[in-house]
Amino acid sequence: MLGCALISIEAPGTDLRSPYASQSDDAFNGRTLDQEVVNPILQQKRIPSTKNAYLAMFRRSVGFTAATRNGVRDKKAYDGLLQLIGYIDTCSQDERSAFLLKLLCRLVELREKSDIRLLRLNRIGATQYRELISGLLKVPSQGRLPVMIVVSILYAVKAHYSLTWTIEFQGINQSDAARGAYGDVTIKDGERVVLAAEITERKVDKPRLVATFNSKISPDGLKDYVFFVKLPSPTEEAYEQAAQYFAQGSEVNFVDILTWSWVSLVTIGQTGRDAFNAQLTLMLTADDVPRSVKVSWNDLVAKITSI
């Protein structure tokens, strides 16, 4: 159906019931379309589907007509195919585009109900780590991936230096105040707070910094607080306000996630990098992580490991 929908848009007037070019002047090459366009997209985006061309289930030079029904195992599905081909024939180009979009959405729904197996990240070089983290930070994840990256780096530092840290971190969109947390991430050594941090994709401006200082840093007497950010952030006014807090004895710093993560991975050795790989992969396997994020991970890993 996806191949028929595509060809109806790209070549209006095509006979959608003739998926072999030799059948008529208005026929199309369904096997080539599937092998070079449809199937690669389905496989790349981890849509559950066979790797074989869809015409492999039919006899040679079959036509999508009622006469073919007797030789098909799944007659209900084939009847649906014929019905939808008939519908497309009556559609305008805009309606065909809308139908194609809806069909793609249904395929994504199918993927979201399936189990996405993550590609394992084995030993890679420093340049590849930078490419991986940079790519992950560009993936829409509702803030999940920045948190995963920062937390995984902290676990890696802990492993490399054999620290006795306890690393506590918040779930996405959970209130720090409601859970009594100092920030998105809190590092403790026993009862002592080593570091508290927020991990954000939003710009950090002066009002936000002041609100954080008044609600968390000052009441709890925190001496070290970090905003892990994506550049360009924060504002110049936020830096000036942080300088004032430093003069008052509270150190508030802003760190670019990409730069900090990459430099940390370069300096913590293979033990630390192995810990990073393990923690990040573990967090990605959680049930609440969208399948689209897992597919993006697989795409990035496949890309950097194929170079």
Crossing angle between the packed helical segments 75-89 and 93-112, to the nearest 10 degrees: 150
Instruction: Please state the pTM of the whole predicted model.
Output: 0.69
Q: 278: helix, coil or strand? A: helix
- Each residue's pLDDT expressed in tens, for the chain with a length of 307 residues: 999 999 999 999 999 999 998 888 999 998 889 889 999 888 888 787 777 777 777 777 789 999 888 888 889 999 999 999 999 999 999 999 999 999 999 988 887 777 788 988 888 998 999 999 999 999 999 999 999 999 999 999 999 999 999 999 977 655 555 455 788 999 999 989 999 999 999 899 999 999 999 998 998 888 889 999 988 879 999 999 999 999 988 899 999 999 999 999 999 999 999 999 999 999 999 988 988 899 899 989 998 988 6
Q: Which pLDDT tens digit goes with each residue over 47-99?
A: 877 777 777 777 777 899 998 888 888 899 999 999 999 999 999 999 999 99
**Every domain range in the chain assigned CATH 3.40.1350:** 126-305
In the chain, which ranges are E strands?
Answer: 166-169, 185-189, 192-199, 224-229, 251-256
The radius of gyration of the chain from alpha carbons, rounded to an integer in Å, stands at: 27
Q: What CATH number belongs to 126-305?
A: 3.40.1350
Q: Which pLDDT tens digit goes with each residue over 263-293?
A: 999 999 999 999 999 999 999 999 889 888 9
Counted residue by residue, the chain has a size of 307
d(CA 187, CA 168): 6
Return the residue matching tokens 């490991």. 305
Return the residue matching tokens 């991975």. 265
One-letter amino acid identity for 210? V
One-letter amino acid identity for 128? Q
d(CA 193, CA 150): 17
Q: CB of 191 within 8 A of CB of 220?
A: no
DSSP code string of 67-120: GGGGG-S-HHHHHHHHHHHHHHHT--HHHHHHHHHHHHHHHHHHHHTS--PPPP
